[in-house]
Chain A
């Protein structure tokens, strides 16, 4: 009797704690994000360090061949680049790798020795965040507004035109949209200053809190931003249109009408708020596609963000830079997802209570 009560107390305590964790929406999402961060670091470690003919081995062999140094010396050099001690057992290497990545230490670039990968990322990442963030914000807002417009004006010319636009631009790959813009506006009609648009800032302009800088950054970012807005507004519009349709049929909208609420109030507080929920549910998928697609978009638009740098690192076989950028991009997606989950929970309080995903 006495024994069982003693042993049951901690179990109950753990169970209660677990209940608190699994019922706290934000905490649950946070733990999930941490798990995915860990999984991403581990997967990268396996890919870069443990696969047969992995980059480190390739690099060591390359050093031995080119510089005629011994295998051990080459290994030492590689170790400093990838910030890993290759002599240690794999499990220790893994733990060390985890610690360093968490501290933000991604080793040094293979091609420009001495330059920390973290510094290179710090230089290019803000531009990608700027262009993707702006593009996403504009396309999300436009998609919601135009999607509602199409749904409210169902089967009119406005709806048909919007749907036609959305069907085309959500299906055609975004890099093809960029190429078409480039060929038509840039080359054939010559209304787009391609040469001036290259890069993230005009020569001579330094990052500062000035109108000149903001204007220049927007000018150079306009091409990738326009491509993201054109293609993603289309996707958000289609989802918003169909979710507004189904929301308009809900009982609570009829009740609101019967109560005599104004159309504006019904549109924002009743229909709009509920109809945007499927967009948030799709966000996790979208952000991964947009961030991954930045490699393509930044290459076509010659916008020197982190995606552009990743492709350069791949072409020059700068493995440590590649590894660092890939991890940072993955972390950005996970962070954006966590942020979207918080917003989702704020807009739809029901999901905070329920155990559904």
Chain B
């Protein structure tokens, strides 16, 4: 008993220090690609900006008719909108929902893609054929047109529902890469060795295959996030998803519906959410370069 209670904290401490060390190594590897690391820093900054920022910046929603479409000043960093409200505070508060839907949808899509991609590669035969047939079918459907029609039939009135729909729609492209990767890994020597040792399919999948596909899985996740953000903002922009909350997409949609885009003085009001969304997408895509750096040792030797 005593030995266990004594060794337990030590054990925990060890695993924590291991975790910190591996995180540190990962971060160091990511810096090898300067542009990718810059993207990663920007992603972190935008996430902090949208999660912590709202606690520091107050959102004032009272209409001030005398302060419409003001240009940036010390008081209003990004000017004011069509109702005289501060644009900067709306940007601070508007990122959380965009990220929330994007990340939730991406998680759903990646879980489906990895589960069924590996399953298709491993079981083969009719399971593979069926999964591929469904994948081909979903890829053939023009996604955004489908979402437009779907929004007319069911009321997409919550963030979670929207995230679930986007997640259920975005996995096919990811599945194809995961499946192809699993197929090629299946034939490698270390998997054959594991099979010869009779370690069982779960061990082979979770201990041999999945860790070796980590780069594909992480990159799939970041791609799925960008798909979901694209579709989400697009749907909100067209007014198909009735959100009244604060969201970069809602800001854009309001500007579009009110024709503010065609008014010279509204430049800052429109460009703020446009730049915010564009930066977020760009940052996520650029991070992929650093992720490749971490998982692909061959790229590292060049440096």
Contacts and interface: CB of A to CB of B under 8 A. Distances in A.
Nearest to B252: A179
A191 B271 CA distance: 19
17 contacts: A32-B136, A47-B150, A48-B153, A172-B278, A173-B277, A179-B261, A180-B271, A183-B271, A186-B262, A187-B263, A285-B139, A292-B145, A295-B148, A317-B152, A326-B145, A326-B146, A333-B141
B140 A330 contact: yes
Given A176-B274, A299-B238, 6 more contacts: A170-B285, A173-B230, A285-B139, A285-B173, A288-B139, A292-B142
Given A171-B282, A179-B270, A311 B148 contact: yes
Interface stretch (A35-43, A138-146, A222-230, A272-280): A35-43
Contact of B140 (A179, A194, A323, A333): A333
B240 interface: yes
B148 A187 contact: no
A55 interface: yes
B108 interface: no
Nearest to A182: B261
Interface of B: 132-133, 136-137, 139-154, 173, 226, 229-230, 233-234, 237-240, 252, 256, 261-264, 267, 270-271, 274, 277-278, 281-282, 284-286
Nearest to A33: B140
Contacts of B145: 291-292, 294-295, 307, 310, 325-326, 329-330
Contact of A47 (B153, B263, B274): B153
B226 to A, nearest CB: 7
Given A180-B274, A183-B267, A35 B153 contact: no
Main secondary structure of the interface of B (DSSP, over half): helix
Main secondary structure of the interface of A (DSSP, over half): helix
Contacts, number: 135
A116 interface: no
Q: Which of B132, B141, B256, B274 has the most CB of A within 10 A?
A: B141
B142 A291 contact: yes
B144 A40 contact: no
Chain A interface category by residue count = 35 or more
A352 to B, nearest CB: 19
A295 to B, nearest CB: 5
Nearest to B176: A285
A113 to B, nearest CB: 19
A288 B136 contact: no
Contact of A292 (B137, B146, B274): B146
Nearest to A186: B262
Contacts of B267: 183, 187-188
The 7 closest A-B pairs by CB, nearest first: A292-B144, A292-B142, A171-B285, A291-B142, A314-B152, A172-B278, A171-B282
A292 B262 contact: no
Most A-side CB within 10 Å, residue of B140, B145, B154: B145
A330 B142 contact: yes
A51 B274 CA distance: 37
Contacts of A167: 282, 285-286
A337 interface: yes
B264 A311 contact: no
B149 A330 contact: no
Nearest to B230: A173
Contacts of B132: 357
Nearest to B152: A314
A8 B11 CA distance: 68
Nearest to A284: B139
B136 to A, nearest CB: 6
Contacts of A345: none
Contact of A188 (B152, B240, B264, B274): B264
